[in-house]
Amino acid sequence: MAKKHELFGPPLNPLGTRLEAEDMEKIAHVRAKPNAKYAWAAGAAISRFLEELKNGRIIGRKCARCERVLVPPRMFCERCFQPTTEWVYLPGTGVVETFSISYIDQNANRVKEPILVGVVAFDGAPPHCGIMHYFGEVKPEELKIGMPVEPVWKPAEERVGSVLDIKYFRPRKK
């Protein structure tokens, strides 16, 4: 096949002016800080989920058709597109579905002690179904996919109806 451009592939002369971080102080730019505040409704299903977290319990919602127990709960099954019909308490235990050992925080700042975070797939729910949460009382090198874990709850008086009512998940004691 004929090659029209032997030396440089297209785009032949791409435009654009590279800047370094310090250039941002020298060139014209405008700073602004939006001040938007929100109050999110948690919704019919997740409100109950949060209430039960406050009680120290994990609750799911069952689809009568496919019989999946949805955790986090939903008022409808997105596969069957039918209303879910039944609240189901789960033991709260589960297994590590996957995990990450993070040395960066939310804003990409570096942290010295790694954040151990992952997905816990709950016992009593379909495979792979769970929530994201932290892990604790475990060394980073000991964390494994499939490891049985249990929630460590905040003391009842400190719970407010939030996923943070669980402090973290730890390896389940036999």
Partner 1 sequence: MDLKKIRKDVAVIGAGMTIFARRLQETGKEMSWEAAKMALDEAGLTLKDIDAVIMGSAPDAFDGVHKKGEYLLDGAGGTNKPYMRVFIGGGTAVFAPIVGWWHVASGMFKRVLVVCEEKMSSVQPHAQSAFGHIWDPILDRPLKPNLVWIFSMEMQRYMHKYNVRYEDIALVAVKNKRNAVGHPCAQLADPNITLEDVLNSEPMALPVRRLDISPPSDGAAAIVLVSEDVAYEHTDTPVWIDGVGWCIDTTMWTNRDLAFPKFVARAAKMAYEMAGIKNPRKEIDLAEPYDPFDYKELQHLEGLLLADPGEAAIMTREGKTQRDGEFPVCPSGGLLGVGNPIAAALGIKIGELYWQLAGKAGPRQVKKDVRTGVAQAWGDLMQVASVVVMRRR
Interface residues with partner 1 (CB under 8 A)?
1-21, 23-24, 27, 31-32, 34, 38, 40, 42-43, 46, 50, 70-72, 74, 78, 97-108, 114, 117-119, 126-134, 140, 145, 162-164
Residue 53 or 173: the one with the smaller Cβ distance to partner 1 is: 53
Residue 52 or 74: the one with the smaller Cβ distance to partner 1 is: 74
Cβ at position 151, least distance to partner 1 in Å: 14
49 burial type by CB count under 10 A (0-12 exposed, 13-18 middle, 19+ buried): buried
Q: How many residues does the chain have?
A: 174
Contact 116, 101 (CB under 8 A): yes
Residue 13 or 174: the one with the smaller Cβ distance to partner 1 is: 13
